[in-house]
Amino acid sequence: MSNVVQRFLRYVQFDTQSSETTQAVPSTPGQLEFGRLLIDELHELGINDAYLSEYGVVYATLPSNMDKEVPIVGFIAHMDTSPDMAGANVSPQMVPNYDGGDITLNTDHNIVLSPKDFPSLNEYVGKDLITTDGTTLLGADDKAGIAEIMTALEYLISHPDVPHGTISIAFTPDEEIGAGVDHFDVEAFGADFAYTVDGGMIGEFAFETFNAAEAKVRVQGLSVHPGTAKGVMINSMLIAQDFINALPSDETPATTEGYEGFYHLTSVQGTVEKTVLTYIIRDFDADVFAKRKQFLLDAADQLNRKHGPGTFQVQLRDQYPNMRDKIEPVYHIVEIALEAIKNANLEPLVKPVRGGTDGSRLSHMGLPTPNLFTGGHNAHGKFEFIPTFAMEKAVEVILNIIALIADTD
């Protein structure tokens, strides 16, 4: 079993599920526990400056072993897993030499990972896979990224004859709840540019993400005794449907792909008196993104004319911007990554991220940070899996990037 696979299987044992409901930083204690383990491992590798910040960010630096100066490159991955799916008691299953058929994840609950539902499995016939046991997520998003970065560091340290410039490393908490770089110290990190290693099938590379916002739609009703409710009661849950129906039904995650944006209703919490609809709003185009946000405000105004002033209130919060505008002026960092992928005998798959990474905000904080693949599939759910050879290729790509930078004139 390769080093990167061993690391990954060890890392997924840590429950690092982040939470949107706590006020702690990081949001859950398991992330700090995992961070301390990573610090210990970095120290064991000989990276003596590794430390865990008061905000739960792991920082480390591998000094240059070269006489000439080359750009300082950073590699970043996040420690938390999605709050939407259980991340404790992960029991990864090895599927050696996948035969192309159904994979039974859990016999008791008849949970099956099938190429009929997930055709990407057909790409990995004959390869070794790691899956869940059908009761939790796997955690390849993004413990695979951490394992890949750590394994690349281990290789460089154990091969001091391989030239490399200074390499900055960071592992962040709470990326899944949009807070991964709330307390990231770009200046202390010290890199000229960086790459997140966060999701995507083998060969994928991204320097575009959605523009993203969250909307809380508060619907005010009026509760009275149901026996005397005629003409008086206003059931907020029922009139909330008017707002749901006001949004285009063909602009949801289930009906869009590629560069198409969407409105996504993520939760409904309601009583007769008050209902809260939570939406996320996504679009790659900044102008269309602004129009999407305005559309929600206009829908509320229109419904308030029907149901009365103040019945519908929309609160918008921007989450992260598209990184493309910040990457294009330094496009050579894209070219380096694409060459590194090709040097690993892979075909680069340049695709926009239909989501976000820490790199979205970091790029707008002055650290251009596109994203490299980890090799995982079906993140955030019980059907998550990752081919072991994809993880090994990710390590190779990281090392190729470092070699290309070391060869800079």
- Catalytic residue positions? 80, 175
Write out the DSSP string of 94-159.
EETT--SS-EEEETTTTEEE-TTT-GGGGGGTTS-EEE--SSS---HHHHHHHHHHHHHHHHHHH-
Nearest 10 degrees: Cα torsion 177, 179, 180, 185: 180
Best CA proximity match to 8, nearest among 148, 157, 204: 148
Paired strand residues for 17: 81
Best CA proximity match to 264, nearest among 288, 280, 283, 249: 280
One-letter amino acid of 262: F
How big, in percent rounded to 5, are the helix, strand and coil portions of the chain?
35, 20, 45
Nearest 10 degrees: Cα torsion 389, 258, 18, 113: -50
